[in-house]
Amino acid sequence: RAKHAGRGHACFFDAEMDKAVRTRRQLENDLRQAILRRQLFLEYQPIYDVGSDSVSGYEALLRWAHPDRGVIDPETFIPIAEESGSIVAIGEWVLQQACQEATRWSEPANVAVNLSPLQFMIPTLYDQIERILRKTGLDPQRLELEITEAALMRERTTVIATLQRLHRLGVRVVMDDFGTGFSSLSNLRAFPFDKIKVDRSFTGALEHDPAARSIVRAIIGLGHSLNMPVVTEGVETETQRRIVIEEGCAQLQGIFFGKPDVGPSQFQSTLNKVVGQG
């Protein structure tokens, strides 16, 4: 029966495939121009600190304002940037932009930047970050680098060495999306992490799935004994907030506290000047 239905379907499928491939190639080309054409921008999402009962930092989240397609999410274009190699230039732009903008914030909050595993493949990553910190004047203690376990798969000794040097510089290294993908407990021992971020899929399941709560509890316990504070991301409801605080989570992030946005009154100083002059 498959053979009978096959032909028409195959044509339809081919046409769809073809369209998808062309769209992807188009995006890939557009992405190469995105930095020069100033189409990339960052949004900042608050990270709430339980101990001080205040927002202690912001995560920089990359957006692409495409001229025809509107604002595109990183989950759509980062994989394309990784495949085509443009992630290296984009990643450097993100670091530079986030550090620069953070120096202009109205409060000296921490800024968290996501790094693609591919950025660890360039031997000059450490020098790049050191130079950006020096040029922007951002205190290294305010910078957090979020990496996923995919970054730890290859060239482990090189990655460990880079993370250790960054750590000595005062930068904090955060394991992102912990509990999914290639999660391995030995990574927590082998790499110098300062903080663990629990994947948001667990947070979303907390209210109806007791297993999710048990896993979050276990990760927090692990973090405690390894001296690594645990952050929960994707906190959307009051109940989720209550549960993760009860479990001893150190920091919380999610739309319950604030959506990704412009950051801590970034234009405050300019505004004051304008108002002051008026």
The answer to whether 144 and 113 are in contact (CB under 8 A) is yes
> Does residue 263 come out as left (phi exceeding 0), alpha (psi in the -120 to 50 range) or beta?
left
CB nearest Mg ion: which residue? 146
H-assigned helices in the chain: 2-34, 74-84, 87-103, 125-136, 156-169, 185-190, 200-205, 210-225, 238-246, 268-277
- Least Å distance between CB 14 and ligand C2E? 31
Is 96 or 164 the residue whose CB approaches ligand C2E more closely? 96
| Contacting residues for 156 by C-beta, under 8 A, at least 6 apart | 190
Among 45, 97, 114, 116, binds Mg ion (CB under 5 A): 114
Q: Which of the stretches 113-121, 126-134, 163-171, 206-214 binds Mg ion when contact is defined by CB under 5 A?
A: 113-121
Q: Scanning residues 72 to 91, which ones bind Mg ion (CB under 5 A)?
A: 73
- Pick from 212, 218, 232: which is nearest to 185 by CA? 218
Q: Does 148 participate in binding Mg ion (rule CB under 5 A)?
A: no
Q: Does 176 participate in binding Mg ion (rule CB under 5 A)?
A: yes
* 247/220 Cα distance (integer angstroms): 7
Is 192 or 258 the residue whose CB approaches ligand C2E more closely? 258
Tokens 């029966």 belong to 1
Is 146 or 149 the residue whose CB approaches Mg ion more closely? 146
Q: Does 261 participate in binding Mg ion (rule CB under 5 A)?
A: no
Among 144, 146, 149, 247, binds Mg ion (CB under 5 A): 146
Q: Which of the stretches 1-9, 127-135, 168-176, 221-229 binds Mg ion when contact is defined by CB under 5 A?
A: 168-176
By CB atoms closer than 10 A (0-12, 13-18, 19+), residue 171 is buried
The answer to whether 49 and 55 are in contact (CB under 8 A) is yes
Q: Which of the stretches 11-19, 64-72, 174-182, 184-192 binds Mg ion when contact is defined by CB under 5 A?
A: 174-182
- Least Å distance between CB 117 and ligand C2E? 8
Binding site for Mg ion (CB under 5 A): 73, 114, 146, 176-177
